[in-house]
Structure 1
């Protein structure tokens, strides 16, 4: 299948399901966008316009069909001090630079770094997000009218039972419609979307940020832009991986970087804040049947339609209905299987998953949590590989020579294990270090080989290194000190 035909399929293969799923997501985006605007310290329209622009543009140029991108809490928290200290126009400028950095990351194929994120980190990321999504609903469960609780329970009942009647309409959409109609008919005293803030009354206007084009401006916005770009790409690429798993399809991670950057630039040019992929809304979209680019585009465009044309209807939507949807997302997002797997999985994998969850929940920062998980994964992996290094000694009683056979990967974590395999106190006339079944990866490994050869020579032995593969020999020739007269590559066997 050609790229153009695949792209066309992403738009047209699930039209009905994508449209309905996009409508559900648009309804769920409104309180989120307003809430994230409050976090960033900006007017609600900044978050709403951002969600419209980011969703629509990423649908066209992104690399993961069916994923929802919009204004998010992960990026909003980074913007607080910039808005407070320098104003809204500097936020727009920082968002444009953020987008340019993300586009550059995509062109440099940095999306490939996802291969270094282990399954344990992704599971921890998912579980932490599920917990954070539920925690975000807690304010809507405390100090609210008592009618709120049966309404939420009714919403959850509709969400889980409605599919038994029909799957033609997404159950979250049915729940929102039913609870809104009942609340309006009964006149119940409930918190509504209208209580969150003022909705915009006019279309967004294209405008460049009103900031001086000076080096000082760049110095102000660059640290924020770099942080926003990194956080946005990290959350987007991890969410893309999760949607890949949910839909059993593959996505173009580097193209997604370009898509995120382009959509953030578009957001800033119409007065919106920066954003990234949203795991909660992406799960809503997928579980509601959304699979293609059309679902993301409908989510963004219908959001704008709702706040400009159907604002009177949107204002009366009870928060209880949206809370029920987000609780469903939280329950569906959490990997319940991972709790059972704690007993059967390797302890290191479980430790990585739990560390990721605890760090994200404690800091409310996804980037820090994932970074901790990736670092722990690297440490555990290095330790595991280091334990696979073996050095065995065989002595020829006739000639008195000794052969050390080295097996495994020699690098910074296993260099000490390698050296401990030699007996430097037992003199021998000739020593052969056979590395035919070993590989030397870095200068720490070469330095360990140097130490072994020089110590053996110091005890009076004639030392020969045998069996270096081509890559290892190249490293040794460049960095070793023990034998510069005869290149090791000349002694390859």
Structure 2
């Protein structure tokens, strides 16, 4: 990132304050009034009502108790808004982490999951301080759609047991295919009351979203399901029957159990937490920017996410990240600044202190219905179909990411998808780089050309073996170096002057510079004078570094080096070559 000084026109690096001062400080400096605070109170309350059932549902689906989801939303959400680089970001547990957290708990236990969360926080702080936030946002769009849709499928599969009230003889498998097989075998144990509660909850959410979009449909559905379960004494599993309810206070902070061996064991999970947390939080901040016209500070946001994950682990929570749905709700509710997110965390704490006993009556089928709706909304169906139709390369990247996420591992899906996306980009950029004989710059009269006038091409000069003019257009990098070098290596042995026009080359890397060095050496061995014209200072610097230097010897003495001519524009520099050759 660079900032333009308007008066001098010079570029300067942003200061530490410009990069890392929280948006809360910026908002307060701009003049924060009573009307702004009132708006943030209402938006914070709205988001808290949405986050209350979601936090518990995500925690249960992640293989931990529902109170850990609330701890995450309270502690993590408060820190994200306090230190973050976005005005409207809402932090808390996210559906995207369900798969990773559940697998980590299964492999290393709850203590191992909390240690991985704290380590991920350290990695996120380091990424922010190293200013890697800009690069994390370079994840290709097909990769984002692929892993998001894959996560949605996995979340939906993980909720089938509670949606249908199925009773499994043993532990539910974590892998996708074995899970479906186990659920299919146990399908005869499905409970009609659980199915009815889940169906009614989904219907309430969907109907209210269409008819009363401003109403908290999720909370109403969960409350109605809890009331019906209590009043009708429905034989369905509830938070109380499975977990014994939720506590009415926050636990005292404590460090997760640490040992070098344990840290090494959970390191891959910590890296996965950090990678997904960075991607999700920055995507959420970008969504908020698009809705409000504001700009977030990506590196500041990563630092805040890091501290939030450490804080969540200290209080027994799970992974924290920016949540797109709750952030969008915050914006639509009229939030003015980060105080809205901080108040959302405080309202959640108040709900937990006051209404904890009532949570025992919430049926798990209703929470599964909530996550089923979340999964349906996460699955970017329109974007998925659009990318499948757009191009074969995008479809391959999308399907590879999606299938690996569902059937193998989320981290593997992201890494393979990113690698395929990068390879696709390199191939497309290489195809855009061209090298061709330039006949438009060869005039009928060299005197006119030397004066800079472009005149119609004289076909009689096309057969002139003394002058060859080639123009390279596009980024000249390792992806195109082989094809361009092959063309330039085929120069005629009898030519006296060989001109390569670099005026349309915006970028040249070391591979391409090395290829030009080989072309220059070949021209020298064949007694051909090579001119490189129109090179920008950056391109010229790369050529000089790799030995393509200005020759001070006469034509007859040696042509071991190329002559780099950068006088004036393209026509003037090529004209100089043609006039003096």
TM-score, normalising length: structure 2: 0.72
Query: What pairs with 1:87-486 in structure 2 (closer than 5 Å)?
Result: 88=111, 95-142=117-164, 143=166, 144-163=190-209, 166-198=212-244, 199-200=246-247, 202-208=249-255, 225-245=270-290, 250-278=295-323, 285=329, 289=333, 293=338, 296-297=341-342, 300-342=345-387, 344-365=389-410, 367-393=411-437, 397-398=463-464, 400-422=466-488, 424=490, 426-430=492-496, 431-480=498-547
1:275-331 deviation digits (Å, cap 9, x = unpaired): 333456667x56985856466445544544455543321011112222222222222
Distance (Å, rounded) in 2 between the aligned partners of 1:470 and 1:170: 59
1:320-355 deviation digits (Å, cap 9, x = unpaired): 222222222222232232244246523323333333
Shift of 1:3: 3.4
The verdict on how the C-alpha distance between 1:329 and 1:293 changes in structure 2, with shifts beyond 3 A counting, is: farther
In the comparison of the two structures, how many residue pairs are matched? 482
Q: What is the match of residue 457 of structure 2? A: none
Q: Which runs of 5+ in 2 are unaligned?
A: 1-22, 167-189, 440-460, 554-560, 568-581
Distance (Å, rounded) in 2 between the aligned partners of 1:449 and 1:110: 33
Shift of 1:57: 1.8
Which one of the candidate residues 75, 91, 95 is aligned to 1:68?
91
1:477, 1:489 within 8 Å by CA — same for their partners in 2?
A: no
Q: Which runs of 5+ in 1 are unaligned?
A: none
Q: What is the match of residue 33 of structure 1? A: 59
Distance (Å, rounded) in 2 between the aligned partners of 1:227 and 1:127: 18
Q: What is the match of residue 492 of structure 1? A: 566
1:163-197 deviation digits (Å, cap 9, x = unpaired): 56545531222211222211211111112122442
1:371-414 deviation digits (Å, cap 9, x = unpaired): 33332222112111111222223575456222222222110000
Distance (Å, rounded) in 2 between the aligned partners of 1:205 and 1:20: 28
Distance (Å, rounded) in 2 between the aligned partners of 1:320 and 1:298: 29
1:24, 1:173 within 8 Å by CA — same for their partners in 2?
A: yes
Distance (Å, rounded) in 2 between the aligned partners of 1:443 and 1:99: 37
2:549, 2:564 within 8 Å by CA — same for their partners in 1?
A: no
Range that drifts further, 67-76 or 150-159: 67-76
Distance (Å, rounded) in 2 between the aligned partners of 1:60 and 1:344: 43
User: Alignment partner of 1:251: what SS?
Assistant: coil
1:61-85 deviation digits (Å, cap 9, x = unpaired): 223424332374365257548845x
Distance (Å, rounded) in 2 between the aligned partners of 1:206 and 1:230: 25
Q: What is the match of residue 45 of structure 2? A: 19
Shift of 1:120: 2.8
Distance (Å, rounded) in 2 between the aligned partners of 1:79 and 1:432: 61
Distance (Å, rounded) in 2 between the aligned partners of 1:337 and 1:186: 41
The verdict on how the C-alpha distance between 1:73 and 1:159 changes in structure 2, with shifts beyond 3 A counting, is: closer
Distance (Å, rounded) in 2 between the aligned partners of 1:153 and 1:223: 38
Distance (Å, rounded) in 2 between the aligned partners of 1:311 and 1:332: 28
Shift of 1:472: 0.5
1:436, 1:467 within 8 Å by CA — same for their partners in 2?
A: yes
Which has more radius of gyration? 2
Distance (Å, rounded) in 1 between the aligned partners of 2:283 and 2:349: 27
Distance (Å, rounded) in 2 between the aligned partners of 1:484 and 1:442: 22
The verdict on how the C-alpha distance between 1:360 and 1:93 changes in structure 2, with shifts beyond 3 A counting, is: closer
Distance (Å, rounded) in 2 between the aligned partners of 1:324 and 1:186: 19
Distance (Å, rounded) in 1 between the aligned partners of 2:229 and 2:265: 48
User: Alignment partner of 2:505: what SS?
Assistant: strand
Q: Larger relative contact order (C-alpha < 8 A, sep ≥ 6)?
A: 1
The verdict on how the C-alpha distance between 1:15 and 1:374 changes in structure 2, with shifts beyond 3 A counting, is: same
